[in-house]
Amino acid sequence: MKNQYVGDIGDYGKYALLRALACRYSIGVNWYFTPDDGRPDGKFVEYLKNDTDPLDKELYQKLKSLLILPDGNVCLENRNVKAIENSGILPDTTLFFNEVLGFTEVADRKTCRECWIKRSFEALGKPDVIFLDPDNGLEW
């Protein structure tokens, strides 16, 4: 997950799924947070400018108010995982792990990733569901 992708159409689907699961299960989110890379992708928020009948109206409105300015432009300051964590999009009981996984100046990427995932388990504790969000795809 990169801040540059926050709120895109894929996130809408993931948040809707997590909100549905949160009705029965405790949720932990590991953002699999990596530094922004400056690439031009991650701009798929046009869906928030449409007046369609969304799957989850409350979620849609919260994302729209968070990310779309009155003039129709995207609020870049709110395209970050902290804004999502603080938005009420996911229940207040949701636990988050948002430590950046970066590999600059790292000789052993595998060990670095293993230590990072261990820290995430320690931080999240034992919720019923831990959602690992690499921002590309969804696997069970």
Q: Domain-by-domain residue ranges, the chain? A: 3-132
Contact 136, 67 (CB under 8 A): no
**pLDDT tens digits for range 29-38:** 999 988 888 7
Is the predicted pLDDT of residue 139 greater than 60, yes or no? no
**How many other C-beta atoms lie within 10 A of the C-beta of residue 110?**
8
124: amino acid identity, one letter: L
Is the predicted pLDDT of residue 134 greater than 90, yes or no? no
- In this prediction, residue 86 carries a pLDDT of 96
pLDDT band at residue 42 under the 50/70/90 scheme: low
> What gap in Å lies between CA 94 and CA 88, rounded to an integer?
10
Query: Across 60-64, 101-105, 109-113, which has the greatest mean pLDDT?
Result: 60-64
**Parallel, antiparallel, or unpaired: how do β-strands 27-30 and 129-132 relate?**
parallel
- In this prediction, residue 41 carries a pLDDT of 65
CA atoms within 13 A on the CB side of 23: 6
DSSP class of 8: S
- Assigned token pair, 65: 């108010």
Report CA-CA distances (Å) from 87 to 1, 7, 37, 79, 111: 18, 12, 25, 12, 34
- In this prediction, residue 22 carries a pLDDT of 96
Sheet with strand 95-97: strands edge to edge: 95-97, 27-30, 129-132
pTM: 0.87
